[in-house]
Every structure is written in structure tokens, then in C-alpha cells.
Amino acid sequence: MVSADTGPALNKRWLVWIPALATMACAAILLFLLVQIDLTRKQLQNDGVLEFNIVQQLGHDLDTLVQMLMTYHQGNQQERSELQEQTILHVDTLSSGIRQVNDSWPSSLLSLKSTQDLLRDINRFLDSYGPSMVAGTTLQDHQVLQISREATDLSSRVYAIDLRLFNRQSGIRDSVEKRLDDLYDALWGFVAFYLVASLMTIMLLLAIFRRAATLREDAVQTRTQLTTALDELTSGDIERRAQNRFMAAASHDLRQPLHALGLYLNVLKRHVPTDQGQVILANIHRSTEALNQLLNSMLDLSRLDAGMVEVNWEQLSLDSIFDHLHQNFLPEANQRELQLDFQYSGLYVRSDQVLLERVLGNLLANAINYTNEGGVSLKATLEGSHVRIDISDTGPGIPADEQEAIFKEYYQLQNPERDRSKGLGLGLSIVKRLSNLLDIELSIVSDEGRGTTFQATLPLAQPNRDEPGALRSKVPRNTDRADLAGLSILVIDDEYDVRDGMKTLLVQHGCDVFIADSSARACEHIIAESWVPDLIIADYRLRDDQTGDMAIEQVREEVNMDVPAMIITGDTSPARLLDATASGFTLLHKPVIADELLNTITRLIGECT
């Protein structure tokens, strides 16, 4: 694992450093070659050949003069006459070479003290003996010998300088030869290094090419996997959204007749005189209530997805909540012959009373539904600054690969026959959403064949001694139904059975009710009869893309009054729930229990009086 991780990093570092080092080495070698070439050029420019030639020519001239003088000394009269003219001419040439050409000599030659002394002595020699070297003058033997000796001495000095220049030129030649050898060796070294660097670069490029090919294959494979996963996710999401749309539509369509059925059953109760009829009616009520619970689970899921659930944070006594849950689930546990063990702790938590009870209630219902023998327990344990609540059962357990799936909508274990007594498969999905909303950490401990424990961890709270320990009821209390007598109520709904059921129920309580399928029909009745409603009840989704809040506002404009109003909807889609809530009117969800409807009417009328 280490080599797999460090290999690409090393390749990446060498990818940077090898070309960089090769480039720096080539630049250093080239700089060395340029410096050596420049030094060689300068040495060749200052090799002393010109100085050597000038000094050698001067020595040759002096030697020729000495030879001519000695021949003149040894010759007869006729020979001297012929040689004198040549000697005079040679002396003139030497004089012009010294006095006219010496100003153009190289500075390297003129800078030598021996050269300066030589030139001074040669000029003195020419000044001393130049007048004697003219036509018509006869040189004496002692003069010839004197001039010859001094010329010989000057010639010796010239040859000494010439010898020094020769030695210098030899040293320069040796130095240039050595430098050329160094340049030759450096050039071969550069060629060898360049070949090695080129070979390594080619190998590195091949390695990079192979690595790039591997990365490309990995990228193609990863892209294929991502595309496949995205297709699966997209198809799954499309399927889920289609399922949700179908369930929302089905829920709306089912709620309409179920709402009307509930209203009719409430009215029918007074018209069934026999005990057997009341038993049958109670059974119908029970079946209707079971269907209501299933639809309400779908509504709860939609309200959670729409973000419409508000959390009322407070300090809660777990003992009070446990006691309330024990009373609710004890009859069902007794019916299934299961033990129900609740352990009270005296602990308090910070949460929402209704939502927390819903979480624990769904977990208890799930445990009871899937436990055939043994029992279900509920206990709370203090863990530092948190409280852990355990809901345990002795059921068949949950396989490890199914423990995430059970929180999905409509997913049920061991219920292929879709037994209605085991619910719709939404309870744990609601638990998951509510746990996220309440900051509850939810976990599962389960062994197949040995039962399951759901663990809910939430913050500990200190008890508020000013509040009673018992639960405060969240259900509105019944009001005096006599207060409804004489009320004028307008019902707007596009479903005939719902309109008729509402009218039947409200007329039974002494209300003056007018039903309409649209706001336009309601306004026609208001204008024709000069009738002003005391309350408006409107469905949210009406015909011609009209909504309940639009219908209410239209009626209010017609009567020029802010008539109290409520909206009753069978929609469960999150978008429509948000829109209905944003209208600001009291919102009830179909099917509405008759008592809840009558209590809401009483409350709205009471707020306006």
C-alpha cells in the first residue's frame, strides 16, 4: 500500500528534477566551453608573433650592419668605396625603421624596460654615428671598429629580447595546446552526458507515457463506473419521484371520499338505534381510522420533506412520556400476548414533546408488530451529558445488510404479503427524518434470531421545578357545540360527496350552510340572496387552477369583510403543502375528524367575537 502511494509521488519528483538537473549540467558545460574558447582567443591574439618578428628584424638589421662594417674594414679602397654607399643606405634604413616605425610597435613590446633601454641606446647610436654615415665621408678603421662593436653589442641585446619573446611564445603555444586538449575532452564529456541525459529522458518519457496510458485507462474505467452509477441513481431517483407523485395523487384521491365517509359516519351514528348496528358502525369507524392512519403517515412524510414541521424545544420528563406511551401500547401488547417492560429513570431531556413521542411511538409500534413472542422494553440511561433511550424487542432481528434499507420509504422486512397490521413501511422513514430534525443520534444493534435494539441518544436537560411532571395535552379540548347553532357557513369544494358530507354534518349542528363548487358560484349566491357567511371552508385545489386562498379572497372582496376562513386539503406533495401553509389560513388535512373540524370552527368564530 505504501509503495502504491509513494510511487506516483517519486515519479512526479523525478519528472521535475531529471530534466532540470540535465539542463543545469548542460548549461554549466557550455559556460565552461565558452570561457575556455574566449581565453584561447585572447591568448592567440597576444601570442607575441608580431613582437618577435619586429625584434628579429631589428636584430637582423644590426647584424647586417656589423657584417657590412667588417667587410668594409677588411676591403681595399675600391671595395670600401662600393660598400660605403651600401652601408650608408643601410644605416638610413635602420634609422627610419627605429625612429619612424617604433611608434607603431605593439604596446606589449614598448612596455618592457629592456626594450625601452634598447631603443634609447639605438637612437643614441644613430645620433652618434649617423653624421659619419653620409656620402663623401671616409670612415677610419678605428671608427669602423668602434661602430661595429657598438652595433654588435646592440645586436646581442636585441637577441636577448628576442629569446625572451621566443620563450614566451613557446609558453603560450603550450598553454593553448593544453587548453585545446581540455576543450576536446570537455566536448567529448558534453557529448557523452548529452547522450546519457537524452537516453534517460527517453526512458522517462516512455515511463510517463505508460503511466499516462494507465491513468487514461483508469479514468475511462472510473468514468464508466460513474456513468453507470449516475444512470442507476438517476433512474432510481426518477422512479422514486414517479412513485412519490403517484402516492401523492393516490393519497389526494383517496382522502376525498374518505373525508366524506368520515363526515357521513359521524352523522349516521345518531340514526342507528340498535346495539348490533352500533357495533357494525364502530367496526366501520375502526377500519376508517386505520386507513386514516396510513394516509396520515404519508402526510407526515410529505410535511417533513417540505420543511413544514416546527420544533418546540422544551425540557421534558422521560417518565411522563414513557407513562403516556405505556398507556397507548399496553392494550396492543396484551392482545399479542407480549410483555411490555418500561423502566423509569427520572431523567429529563431537551426536545419536542409531540415529535419525540412520535419517534418513540413509531419505534415501539415497529417492535411490537415484528415480535411474535417474548416482549418489548423501553429504558433510558444517562451517558455523560446525553441520555440514551433503548427500545428492545425479542423479534427475529435485522440482517446487517438490511439495517440501512429499513429507513427507506415503503420498505418492509418479512412482509411480502403486505400485511396491513404491520403498517405501510413509512414508520421508520418518519423516525429517521424526525431524528435528524431533533438532533437525535439513531443507531441499531441487532442479531438475527435474537432481537433488535434501537438506540436514540439526545441531550440531557435539568428539570424545571416550576412545571408539573405530567404531560400537557396537545389535543384541543371539546367546545360547546351549541355555539355553532345559527352560524352561516360557506363550503367551497369541487367534490360533491365532500360538499354534501360537510353540509350534512354542519346542518345537524344547527348551521346555515351553503355549498358551492367554486368561488364564482358562491359569489352569485351571495349577490342574489344578500347572504354574508360567518365562516368560509374551502378546499385548497379547485377547478380551473384556482386555489382555496384565492377563492377565500374573492369571497372576502365580494362581501367587503375579512370573514374567518380555513382551508382543508387532501394534497400531500411538499410543494402544495408549502403553498397552502404560506397562505396564512388555518390548514386542516383530509380526512378530517368531525370533532377536530367542529372544534376548529368554534375556535375561529371565538377569535372574531
Lowest mean pLDDT of 1-5, 54-58, 552-556, name the range. 1-5
Most confident option among 125-139, 459-473, 518-532, 585-599: 518-532
Cα→Cα distances 191→28, 29, 184, Å = 13, 10, 11
Tens digits of residue pLDDT in 317-369 = 999 999 888 888 888 888 889 999 999 999 999 998 888 888 898 899 888 98
The strands making up 488-492's β-sheet, listed across from edge to edge, are 512-516, 488-492, 535-539, 565-569, 586-589
Q: Which stretches of 314-398 are DSSP H helices? A: 318-335, 353-369
pLDDT reported for residue 410? 53
**pLDDT category, 525, cuts 50, 70, 90?**
very high
**pLDDT category, 118, cuts 50, 70, 90?**
confident
Among 535, 528, 530, 543, smallest CA distance to 496 is for 543
pLDDT reported for residue 609? 64
Question: How far apart (Å, rounded) are the C-alpha atoms in residues 170 and 606?
Answer: 129
Lowest mean pLDDT of 46-55, 421-430, 462-471, 571-580, name the range. 462-471
Among 480, 400, 413, smallest CA distance to 445 is for 400
- Residue 297 clears pLDDT 70, i.e. is over it: no
DSSP string, 435-462: HHHTT-EEEEEEETTTEEEEEEEEEEE-
High-pLDDT (> 90) share of the chain, %: 17
CB burial of 197-222 (b: ≥16 within 10 Å; e: otherwise) equals beeeeeeeeeeeeeeeeeeeeeeeee
Question: How far apart (Å, rounded) are the C-alpha atoms in residues 324 and 378?
Answer: 12
Distance of CA 575 to the CA centre of its chain: 30
Cell (9 digits) for 322: 414513557
Cell 434499507: give the residue: 405
**pLDDT category, 506, cuts 50, 70, 90?**
very high
**pLDDT category, 472, cuts 50, 70, 90?**
very low
Contacts of 520 (CB under 8 A, 6+ apart): 554
Cell (9 digits) for 569: 386539503
Contacts of 354 (CB under 8 A, 6+ apart): 312, 474
Cα→Cα distances 453→366, 379, 540, 564, Å = 11, 11, 42, 49
- The hierarchical CATH code for the domain 481-608 is 3.40.50.2300
CB 595 within 8 A of CB 577: no
Cell 671608427: give the residue: 143
| CATH fold label, 312-461 | Heat Shock Protein 90 (3.30.565)
**pLDDT category, 99, cuts 50, 70, 90?**
low
**Between 471 and 48, where is the model more confident?**
48
pLDDT reported for residue 278? 77
pLDDT reported for residue 2? 38
Longest dimension (CA), the chain: 191
The DSSP symbol for 534 reads S
Q: How do the domains of the chain map onto residue ranges?
A: 2-203, 312-461, 481-608
**Between 159 and 45, where is the model more confident?**
159
Most confident option among 163-167, 248-252, 291-295: 163-167
E strands, 430-545, where?
A: 441-447, 451-461, 488-492, 512-516, 535-539
**pLDDT category, 480, cuts 50, 70, 90?**
very low
- Residue 526 clears pLDDT 90, i.e. is over it: yes
**Between 351 and 14, where is the model more confident?**
351
- Residue 125 clears pLDDT 90, i.e. is over it: no
195, containing H or E segment: helix 141-268
**pLDDT category, 95, cuts 50, 70, 90?**
low
Most confident option among 54-68, 282-296, 359-373, 389-403: 359-373
| CATH fold label, 2-203 | Four Helix Bundle (Hemerythrin (Met), subunit A) (1.20.120)
pLDDT reported for residue 521? 93
Among 381, 289, 382, 364, smallest CA distance to 326 is for 364
CB 523 within 8 A of CB 555: yes
Lowest mean pLDDT of 73-77, 208-212, 514-518, name the range. 73-77
Among 101, 126, 116, 125, smallest CA distance to 50 is for 101
pLDDT reported for residue 228? 79
- Specify the amino acid at residue 156: S
Give the mean pLDDT of 572-600: 80
- Residue 552 clears pLDDT 90, i.e. is over it: yes
Question: For the CA atoms of the chain, what is the radius of gyration?
Answer: 60
pLDDT reported for residue 557? 93
pLDDT reported for residue 582? 80
pLDDT reported for residue 424? 47
Lowest mean pLDDT of 131-135, 384-388, 603-607, name the range. 131-135
- Residue 379 clears pLDDT 70, i.e. is over it: yes
CA-based angle 417:574:286, to the nearest 5?
45
CB 40 within 8 A of CB 179: yes
Tens digits of residue pLDDT in 394-413 = 988 887 767 676 666 555 55
Tens digits of residue pLDDT in 298-324 = 555 555 655 656 778 889 999 999 988
